[in-house]
A and B are shown apart, each in its own frame.
Chain A
């Protein structure tokens, strides 16, 4: 189906920046082949189809570490930086600071390779949450730090570019996409400070043997101070695409500019003071502060609810402009399988999955309800409906968009491409349904169940978990096959001959209601609120930890119950 709407606007880009963005898209995509393969192995191990510690020389927990680190940390960080470069360049119309962009690329790439080597050789099988006192090779921690610093360099290099734009355009509102990218990286900056303290002050000296023990409750609180805003760092670039691309792709306008600005500002303020909702079942934190974090977590759901409404209204506006009528009849006018507006399917499917990811997120945050689902298979089900749903679809769609426009190449297998998000949605929904059911029944996450709970020869065999694991496996296989098709399209496009000069082409959405609310004109009051909220949410929990003086833990290898000497 061909579209009548031409949704794309164009900007010429310096060849240096094109090279940087294309590298930051292609390099993590190559790693993603490994990450996705590890995902397939996880479901086969868990289902008991592979009944062993290792497959093809890769231990289950080593593969799990690779799956999480590549898919959720490396791929997402690289894409966020590449996308940020593109958005800032496109909307300010100003050349970026290429030197800084190169340094950012080099730091992130070196860091990734440094962390990948111990993971691949099996000396960092600590999962991407790297809870001490399980110890990884120091290169793993140092590599992660370099990856993060590289992303900071990119962020800082955009600020002077934007300030120049602002001086030249007094009285003009900050473009919504630019606000979204800044929100993404402000959240990321807030998140990465506590984890940098955890890694640099606690873990690196301890892993090198300079200090003998580590305070585990403190390390865990610092980790989750990072761990929750991390998910908004993943989600925000997808939100930028939803607000600034999706309405245009349907042929309409963004229903409310206010809703977009409110969402980004609110997420800056409330994404971080809520990390303790990951620690409900832990000792060392009083129930008072667990409840405060539960309350703040509920508040962070508000912008997502507002987003759901605004985007539905925007899509309806687009569909009605394209001739849609009736209470539900306008749905037929959305560009479901339009090969020119293929990004619509990637974004829409992500939003559909996020309905379930969002609801289960509210369930997880609901204080004592967490007792039922904490650390069970329910969690990866929720996780795949959020980071592997809206985030992942927006990021692989965005990667393909940047590759084809900046590379000046036609997308390979266009008609297949538009089906990818639907197949992925099917896979995610089947997979997650299985894991939700298994989680409620007590099936643990992150467990090589094929050797115990799903193995009829084991005394731990749990036949009542079988329905869940069958659904999980079928869904996982669908996801894997879908990604194989995606890789054929992505790398097929990459290897094609250039058919035009590479330019940056993005769908640009105009607002339908373009309100100017005083409270949303400047970031400053929101940044001040953010700091105040963080002080309120975390001062007393850290004081409680300091007062309790927990004895430290020595180093452990995941392979031995005997503490390591050095």
Chain B
């Protein structure tokens, strides 16, 4: 059966087109009238290598987030409710994502470029910041927090964990095992196997014994002593003392 009437088909195409044009109009209105925007192309901000919070005025902040495998710097921020923050995002290594859960802030950190968004924190509370783009084998540990609290000047609350986690979990939490093996296999950093009590030949030719003090220093100020054959590339850490001791206790058991 053939027919030349295409009345119904035409109407369907026109209805579908009107539907999507209406949606486009609603989107355009949300941008123009309500200001729901997207990040744009910034070319006047060079990629930075340090994360920091700059207070511009009361309740006005500029936050420079540096994403890196596998943490955000700064990791803990406290600001008062009602604060407006200009967020700049850069990466030290690979591509990352940054979502402040519970807000509309969802940014990609792309090597070579800086991303930007503005956010106002009206509600007090603790905001989780997650990396939501795959960035390597410890991607799932990459997160930070923003504390929106009236005690904004106070230092961030102590980490929930204290040393509740065992040494091995802490190695995972801080992604130590990304560079240090437990079984002697070669990785970017020295293996933990048989490390405690061993003699270490340093880059300058001197010899140090890997005792408690040496290990604690190597966690806190990793590049104070560099073992021969390795690069001084490990970033400084801000691991609480209790957790550092738990890590050292664990390293002692890796034989």
Binding site for B on A (CB under 8 A): 53, 59, 61, 64, 125, 127, 131, 133-134, 215-217, 220, 253, 256, 258-259, 262, 279-287, 290-291, 294-295, 298-299, 301-302, 305-306, 309-310, 362, 366-372, 374-376, 441-442, 444-449, 451-453, 457-460, 462, 511-515, 517, 544, 547-548, 550-553, 556-563
Contact = CB atoms under 8 A, between A and B. Distances in A.
Nearest to B2: A514
B219 to A, nearest CB: 16
B242 interface: no
Contacts of B116: 283
Nearest to A214: B111
Contact of A371 (B106, B115, B128, B139): B106
B117 to A, nearest CB: 9
A217 B235 CA distance: 26
Interface string B122-138: 00000010111111110
A305 B112 contact: no
A441 to B, nearest CB: 8
Given A53-B137, A552-B112, A286 B40 contact: yes
Contacts, number: 254
Contact of A367 (B27, B111, B112): B27
Interface stretch (B58-66, B172-180, B198-206, B209-217): B172-180
Contacts of B136: 61, 134, 556-561
Nearest to B88: A283
Contacts of B70: 561
Contacts of A291: 28, 31
Contact of B16 (A131, A305, A462): A305
B41 interface: yes
B99 A515 contact: no
A281 B112 contact: no
Given A368-B36, A442-B101, A559-B178, A447 B132 contact: yes
A61 B43 contact: no
Interface of B: 1-6, 8-9, 12-13, 15-17, 19-21, 23-24, 27-28, 30-31, 36-43, 47, 68-70, 89, 93-95, 97, 99, 101-102, 104-108, 110-116, 128, 130-137, 139-141, 143, 159-161, 165, 169, 172-173, 175, 178-179, 187-188, 231, 233, 235
Contacts of A447: 132, 134, 139-140
Contact of A561 (B3, B41, B179): B179
Given A462-B128, A561-B179, A451 B141 contact: yes
Nearest to A302: B16
Given A59-B137, A281-B106, A442-B101, A286 B41 contact: yes
Given A282-B115, A285-B41, A367-B27, A561 B69 contact: yes
A299 B169 CA distance: 50
Contacts of A544: 41
25 contacts: A131-B95, A131-B133, A217-B113, A282-B113, A282-B115, A283-B42, A284-B110, A290-B38, A306-B9, A310-B9, A367-B27, A368-B27, A374-B99, A442-B102, A447-B139, A451-B141, A453-B140, A457-B169, A513-B6, A515-B4, A517-B6, A553-B94, A558-B136, A559-B178, A560-B136
B166 to A, nearest CB: 9
A368 B38 contact: yes
Contacts of B134: 61, 64, 127, 131, 134, 446-447
A479 B43 CA distance: 46
Contacts of A362: 20, 23
Nearest to A545: B41
A298 B105 contact: no
A13 B147 CA distance: 69
Contacts of B41: 283-286, 544, 548
Contact of A562 (B5, B19, B137, B233): B233
A283 B27 contact: no
A548 B132 contact: no
Given A448-B139, A513-B2, A282 B112 contact: no
B107 to A, nearest CB: 6
Contacts of A279: 108
A287 B38 contact: yes
Contacts of B133: 131, 375, 446
A553 B134 CA distance: 17
A261 to B, nearest CB: 11
B143 A452 contact: yes
Contacts of A131: 94-95, 133-134
A374 B105 CA distance: 10
- Which of A281, A282, A309, A552: most chain B Cβ within 10 A? A281
A302 B132 CA distance: 31
